[in-house]
């Protein structure tokens, strides 16, 4: 039953995350089980041929599959809810990273954000380059200024150092220690 649903989602929509995105046309975020079921009905799951009886009607799907997709009965389905259906652990991890990246992209969006979640790229598609942290920028800049990337030894790299303190009055000469001589 699980394999059949995963195979159907791949053939009908291109994959599990794509299935969720197709159902969540407004990209509004979590789906209710009712809207998820309506989306499956609209895509044609219950009319598809060759599927097990648990996938043949909405009532059967609610009884057999919905408890697996929403095990705690929260009533809020996210794309991650479907990832357990992916049998390949590497692909599952990749899909999870894509979903998390899409969620982070919406969190970093400007205030005038329209509420649409960015479309998760299909497998094999070009992924967005990850942003570098301030520490990575600092270290990368230092590496480019110094050997072997920049051609100079790190001791001779240009540094933004504060100016030296102004010269003060000369220090008094050092006192010599009296030598102790025993006569």
Average pLDDT, whole number, for the chain? 75
Query: How high is the pLDDT of residue 141?
Result: 76
Asked if 88 contacts 41 with a C-beta cutoff of 8 angstroms, the reply is no
pLDDT band, residue 171 (cuts 50/70/90) = low
The model's pTM: 0.53
Residue 1 in tokens: 């039953």
Query: How high is the pLDDT of residue 25?
Result: 76
Question: Could you tell me which of 101, 88, 176, 159 has the C-alpha nearest to residue 131?
Answer: 101
Residue 53 DSSP class: G
Examine the pLDDT at 178 and tell me if it is beyond 50: yes
pLDDT in tens, 78-112: 888 888 888 888 988 888 888 888 777 766 555 44
């Amino acid at each position: 039953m699980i394999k059949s649903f995963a195979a159907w989602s791949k053939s009908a929509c291109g994959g599990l995350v794509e299935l969720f995105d197709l159902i969540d046309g407004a990209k509004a975020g979590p789906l209710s089980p009712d809207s998820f079921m309506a989306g499956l009905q609209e895509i044609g799951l219950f009319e598809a041929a060759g599927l097990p009886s648990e996938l043949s009607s909405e009532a059967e799907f609610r009884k057999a599959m919905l408890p697996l997709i929403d095990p705690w009965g929260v009533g809020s389905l996210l794309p991650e809810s479907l990832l357990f259906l992916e049998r390949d652990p590497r692909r599952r991890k990749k899909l999870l990273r894509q979903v998390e990246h899409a969620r982070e992209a919406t969190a970093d969006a400007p205030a005038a954000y329209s509420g649409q979640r960015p479309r998760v790229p299909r497998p094999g598609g070009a992924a967005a380059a990850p942003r570098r942290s301030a520490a990575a920028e600092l270290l990368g800049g230092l590496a480019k200024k110094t050997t072997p990337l920049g051609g100079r030894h790190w001791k001779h790299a240009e540094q933004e150092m504060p100016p030296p303190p102004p010269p003060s009055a000369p220090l008094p000469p050092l006192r010599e220690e009296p030598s102790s001589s025993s006569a």
